[in-house]
Amino acid sequence: MDLLLQMEQEEQVCVLYACEAGSRAWGLDTEDSDYDVRFIYQRPLEQYLTLFEQKEVIVHPVGARIDLHGWDLKKALQLLGKSNPTLLEWLHSPVVYKEESHAVQQLRNIALDSFSPKACFYHYYRMAKRNYEAYCREEQHERRWKTLLAVWKPLLACGWLERHGTFPPVGFKALAEEVLASMPSLLQSVLELGIRSKPSGYGYASMQAVGEMAVYIEGRLAHAEVAAESLPGVRGDMKEMLEQFFKELVLGKMK
């Protein structure tokens, strides 16, 4: 909180919302995990009326383990209209450091109204595929649970979107619990072992786990590529709602 306050003073902005992202939000952190603090900030009114563009992103690396990274309100709202999954993860983070409750609740309501299962599904599908390709490039004896779980997190999110059509939970365990019951017993034990092994730095996956998981993951990726087309997109044009929210907030007229 002290670092956020210092950043607000240096940048002359007001933080509307700040949360934890990455492994600490997912529940997959270890003792060595960084603090990935993400925030949405608002500038003074006159800075939104200037002829010249203001920077939309503030990045403040603080030492080796704390990273402050935030988006301007205007940028956040534009991305919210596109159902941006990164922003949605921030708004659903289980670790919140600061929240201007009324404004942020309005943001969450807009996120719900504008939610696109298809846009989020494609985001997580591409992430799972990219992370799996990185996992496969690792030497077999060096393949870690951390890399494997980075594949499973977005893959499980795809499964949630396909089944429920709502934004998936940020926490890994909440996602995994639903899918574990439908997995073969051997894979259940493998995935549960990977989750439990995180305090020791995730450890390394066994050769058996590598083979079993590879077959299952490749099958889920192939399924996801087809399943995406059946999901609904954005629920209409949200420009008017976003514009009204933005004006009310920066003009100080929000009820």
Cα angle 79-80-83, degrees, rounded to a multiple of 5: 95
* pLDDT tens-digit readout, 92-101: 999 999 998 8
Residue 140 sits in the same domain as residue 110? no
- How far is the C-alpha of 44 from the C-alpha of 64, rounded, in Å? 31
Residue 154 sits in the same domain as residue 177? yes
131: in domain: yes
Residue 181 sits in the same domain as residue 101? no
255: in domain: no
Residue 188 sits in the same domain as residue 204? yes
Residue 87 sits in the same domain as residue 13? yes
pLDDT at 231: 86
What is the mean pLDDT of the segment spanning 180-200?
A: 61
Task: Work out the mean pLDDT of the chain and round it to a whole number.
Answer: 84
Tell me what percent of the residues of the chain surpass a pLDDT of 70.
Answer: 82
Cβ neighbors of 143 (< 8 A, separation 6 or more) are 135, 204, 205, 210
- How far is the C-alpha of 70 from the C-alpha of 37, rounded, in Å? 8
* pLDDT tens-digit readout, 15-39: 999 999 988 998 888 778 889 999 9
pLDDT at 185: 63
**Could you tell me the pLDDT band of residue 249, with boundaries at 50, 70 and 90?**
very high
Name the residue with higher pLDDT: 204 or 11: 11
**Could you tell me the pLDDT band of residue 210, with boundaries at 50, 70 and 90?**
low
What 3-state DSSP class applies to 59? strand
**Could you tell me the pLDDT band of residue 213, with boundaries at 50, 70 and 90?**
confident
Tokens of 16: 């509307």
Q: Quote the number of domains for the chain.
A: 2
49: in domain: yes
The 66-72 sheet, strands edge to edge: 57-62, 66-72, 35-42, 14-21, 96-99
What 3-state DSSP class applies to 253? coil
Residue 111 sits in the same domain as residue 143? no
**Could you tell me the pLDDT band of residue 199, with boundaries at 50, 70 and 90?**
very low
pLDDT at 188: 66
Tell me what percent of the residues of the chain surpass a pLDDT of 90.
Answer: 44
With 70 as the cut, is the pLDDT of residue 119 above it? yes
List helix spans (H) across the chain. Answer: 2-11, 23-26, 45-48, 73-80, 85-91, 101-113, 117-137, 145-164, 172-180, 185-196, 207-227, 239-250
Residue 136 sits in the same domain as residue 181? yes
* Chain centroid to CA 108: 14
Q: Which range marks the domain in which residue 243 is found? A: 2-115+236-250
Name the residue with higher pLDDT: 107 or 28: 107
Name the residue with higher pLDDT: 137 or 254: 137
Of the CA atoms within 13 Å of residue 247, those in its CB half-sphere come to 6
CB–CB of 33/24 below 8 Å?
yes
- How far is the C-alpha of 22 from the C-alpha of 193, rounded, in Å? 20
Which residue reads 């403040």 in tokens?
60
Query: What is the CATH classification number for the domain harbouring 241?
Result: 3.30.460
Cβ neighbors of 7 (< 8 A, separation 6 or more) are 13, 15, 58, 60, 68
What is the mean pLDDT of the segment spanning 186-207?
A: 56
128: in domain: yes
What 3-state DSSP class applies to 138? coil
Residue 127 sits in the same domain as residue 222? yes
pLDDT at 201: 47
